[in-house]
Structure 1
Amino acid sequence: IVLGFGLKLLGRKRKQRFIGNILLGIGFIFLGMKVMSESVVPLKDHALFKETLINLEHIPLLALLVSALFTSIIQSSTATMGLTISLAMQGLISLNLAVPIILGSHLGSCSTVLFAGIGASMSAKRVTLAICRGKF
């Protein structure tokens, strides 16, 4: 992040500033992943959270629906996937639970587009369905 910021701020040539932007962006992505990974560490010892994850693992459809609702609320399937990766890195979820969560995050990210299509023309509804279909 520091190197990217330095190149962006002090770069004399356009190419140097461009490389600074790239390094800055990549740095922030890794910083965000680190923060998300560290934020789930306290959940490792939380009994109710662990029990909920175990129950969701036995009912994949419920995990998918919870994930879709969560993603609809936060409006970011990428954040849901990042959180899922963090939980998997901590050993809190298995692949059997991660798959429905990821599918639910894709479904939840379609909610905004589907709501936008309500009351719209038939052509607009087709576009919203095409956008959601492209995610699967």
Structure 2
Amino acid sequence: MGLFGFGDKPGARFDLAAIGEQWRTRALSADRTASVSIRVIDDDFDRGPFPFVALIQPLAVVLPDQFDRWTAATHFALERDGDALLVLVHREPRLITWYAHAATKGQLERCLKALKKTNPVRWGIHHDREWADYDRARLHGAE
């Protein structure tokens, strides 16, 4: 929050063109009903300016045939202004979870409030200098 509570300082922005839309997906169950998709980000990408992570889930049950629509809406809400970056999508038979990063908590909250108007979601935001969830998933070899 900025001085006297009037918003927060503008944070760094992602260069979405440079990062691109390359994703790796790995099945997490033999029947392929659970999977994880991880955005490919260069190893030398400087994460320091983007320490806030959001975990986002639909408020209602979302079935697998709706996952793509929900993910597209979430992706658009997070990245349309370049304020947040969707990095991981975890799918289970009746639940989908998205992970995104941004420079400030306010950037994520603005994106998620806009998303909630069209697709009701719950979210949590915390400070994560290590991007631990992204790295853990990436190192476990999503292909």
Shared fold (TM-score, shorter chain, > 0.5): no
Compare relative contact order (CA 8 Å, sep 6+) and give the higher one, 1 or 2.
2
Q: TM-score per shorter chain, which class? A: under 0.3
TM-score relative to the length of structure 2: 0.23
TM-score relative to the length of structure 1: 0.24
- Larger relative strand fraction: 2
